[in-house]
Structure 1
Amino acid sequence: MELSKYSVCSLLVMFNPARVVLKGIIDDGSCSSQRGDADSAFGYTKSFEFVLILHLMKEIMGITEILSQALQKKSQDIINAMNLVAATKERLSELRNTGWDSLLARVKAFSEKHEVDILDLNALYRSSRYRPRLQDNHVTFEHYYRVDIFISTLDKQLQELNNRFNDQVMDLLTLSSSLVPSKRSKVLNVDHICSLVEKYYPADFTEQERTRLESELELFNIELSKNSKLSGASTLTEVFKVLVETEKCENYNLLYRLIRLILTLPVSTATTERAFSGMKICKNRLRTKMSDDFLAYNLVVYIERKIAEKFDSESVIEDFKLLKGRRVEL
């Protein structure tokens, strides 16, 4: 189950009732595995570290929620979404640099209210991840919680945003939004589009084609003011469909090629998301010891199941027979 800001807030509000329910399952659970899981979960709720992580999740999700919603909207909101990316990065950096003391104060207040033991943060932290030599160097609970949990988590969030929205991605998003007529101005920025095409698609457009593309865009701008179908398109996909339906893709063949190149960009992301979704199904709780190779083979069959359904058993057996000679006929 994916957690959101509201589910984490609900868990904080329902903290004590949730512990009462878990205690009831421990005492009256129908089976030993259910009671064991409840006992393990109840143990986590009594931990100061659990409360700290819960509050940290609430802070991070509160910052990133608006950006997540903006990224799910249509392409005319891409410019606003890019501004939100920069604001989100700045807010996460601000939380990383100056937010530890206020977060710790809220965690302590919550722990006192709900009778969670507050650890002595100046005591030495003992864990297998630190060698005895390092433990002698005063690795305290405060250091572990602040550096290894708080700062490390925020650094990973910032790194993910930087990887997903680097300069190249931001420019390509700008190019995508530039090809969609906005409500305020029904004119495309020809110079801006051509400069981005020259920068990111040098192998797809020759110098002569880039010159022709500029002419196509200028003509396209004139037609936008007269063609209600084109000016009414609110996404890049809709612009592409209108070009095909009105058979203008032949007149604006370079613009058509550019839009097609941009629309194929999300394919790699979609494949990755499908792989992670398939992984949750193929490698479940009962298959935790599955090797990486076996998991990869299963994922290929699951993700590309429409292709796999076309193979019949006889063809698989024949291919298997051709791999090498066998003593027994299959």
Structure 2
Amino acid sequence: MKGDIKGLKTLIMQESPSAYYVHCFAHQLQLVLVAVAKENTDCVWFLEQVSLLLNIVGVSCKRHGMLRSAKLESIMKALECGELKTGSGLNQEMGLARPGETRWGSHYRTVCNIISMYPIIRDVLITLGEDTTHKADWIKIHFMVGAFESFDFVFSLHLMFVILGYTNELSECLQRREQDIIHAIQLVGVTKNRMQHLRSEGWNQFLQNVTLFCNKLGVEVPTMEGNYVPFGRSRRFVQNQTNDDHFRREVYIGVIDKISQELDSRFDDVNMELISYMSALNPSNSFASFDAQKVRRLAEFYPKDIFWL
């Protein structure tokens, strides 16, 4: 569509040079997340581990059943101890469905389920790794257990949980058939502000949450002053740095900065302003949103096409 020679955008611009190209907002948001995931090596590594995990657990109905049974047993124990309450809509069954490549909201659900079921998934992986009937998969399973229990995995898991959580509301809003464009534009601004606040104020709270999770589930937490040692990757391709440099500066701040840059680039001020002014011509509810000032400002975008009387 955006091809420089025969793309639809080019053909329209040749007929009407003052036309503006506004990409689908829902697709724009997906491109933001995809761009970040592809350019950060830790994100790439994490998504590969999630894919391997889903392959191991979802390879057969028997393994699905193991995960389901372990989840049920965990819920029953928690109910007996009074750690969970019963009621309509509570304690719903969870699974590890494979996320869709074009639906980043499904990635968020997968991340949420992994966090909620972390000890159950680990127990199932360990059981599979000790079962002699699964020797053919032992290498993959044993590596997955090591990766799953690494601080690298848990850190990236929680970072994806926070970032995808912040963008999930915006993603759902942009995909609604009856879309309130003004509300969507406001959510874009809210998402940008959240990212900036997360960068400037969120590190200590985020690290504390990750540390509490690790301590509760027996995952070793490295000292931030120590040298960073990547899990399952050669140190040859990782620069000599401290854990604080890697996890805080390179991963945490690096991912947030990249998302902020992509949001600013793909949701630029001109497109946002243009769409906002276009909403003044929405015919719903007898043009209830009509605003003469917005229409006047909209006309200024097309000085060669609209003539004032």
TM-score, normalised relative to structure 2: 0.58
Gaps of 5+ in 1: 216-330
CA–CA separation in structure 1 for the residues paired with 2:295 and 2:137 = 59
**Which residue number in structure 2 is paired with residue 45 of structure 1?**
148
Partner-residue secondary structure (3-state), 1:151 = helix
User: Which of 107, 120, 125 matches 2:210?
Assistant: 107
Q: Is the 8 A contact 1:23 1:42 kept in 2?
A: yes
Mapping of 1:86-235 within 5 angstroms?
86-126=189-229, 127-131=235-239, 135=240, 139-183=241-285, 185-186=287-288, 188-199=290-301, 201-202=302-303, 205-206=304-305, 210-211=306-307
CA distance in 2, matches of 1:142, 1:194: 52
Distance in 1 (CA, whole Å) between partners of 2:136 and 2:282 is 56
Equivalent-residue separation in structure 2 for 1:70 and 1:191 (angstroms): 27
**Change in CA separation of 1:188 and 1:111 when aligned onto 2, cut-off 3 Å:** same
Say if 2:280 and 2:289, in contact at 8 Å, map to a contact too. no
Percent identity of equivalent pairs? 32
Which of these two proteins has the greater Rg computed from alpha carbons?
Answer: 1
Distance 2:259 2:132 in 1: 38
5+ residue gaps, structure 2, are 1-98, 101-105, 230-234
- Give 1:113's aligned amino acid: K
Q: Equivalent residue for 2:181?
A: 78
- Give, as a single letter, the amino acid of the residue that structure 2 aligns with 1:128: R
Map 1:9-24 to 2 at 5 A. 9-24=112-127
Task: Give the AA of the match of 1:35.
Answer: W
Are the equivalent residues in 2 in contact too, given 1:122–1:141 (CA < 8 A)? yes
- CA drift at 1:63: 1.2
Q: Which amino acid aligns with 2:264?
A: N
Match for 1:181: what amino acid? P
Q: Do the aligned residues in 1 keep the contact of 2:279 with 2:289 (CA within 8 Å)?
A: no
- For residues 252-282 of structure 1, the C-alpha deviation after alignment (integer angstroms, 9 at most, x for no partner) is xxxxxxxxxxxxxxxxxxxxxxxxxxxxxxx
Name the structure, 1 or 2, with higher relative contact order (CA <8 Å, separation 6+): 2
Equivalent position of 1:36 in the other structure: 139
Q: Cα deviation per residue 1:138-195 (whole Å; 9 max; x = unaligned)? A: x311111001110011112112211221112102322442321243853633553353
Judged with a 3 Å threshold, the aligned counterparts in structure 2 of structure 1 residues 160 and 30 are, in CA distance, closer, same or farther, namely farther
Q: What RMSD, in angstroms, separates the aligned Cα atoms of the two structures?
A: 2.6
TM-score, normalising length from structure 1? 0.54
Partners of 1:162 and 1:21 lie apart in 2 by 42
Q: Provide the C-alpha distance between the structure 2 equivalents of 1:41 and 1:176, rounded to a whole number of angstroms.
A: 51
Provide closer, same or farther for how the CA distance between residues 196 and 143 of structure 1 changes in structure 2, counting only shifts above 3 A: same
For residue 183 of structure 1, give the secondary structure of its aligned residue in structure 2: helix
Does the 8 Å contact 1:76/1:182 carry over to 2?
Answer: no
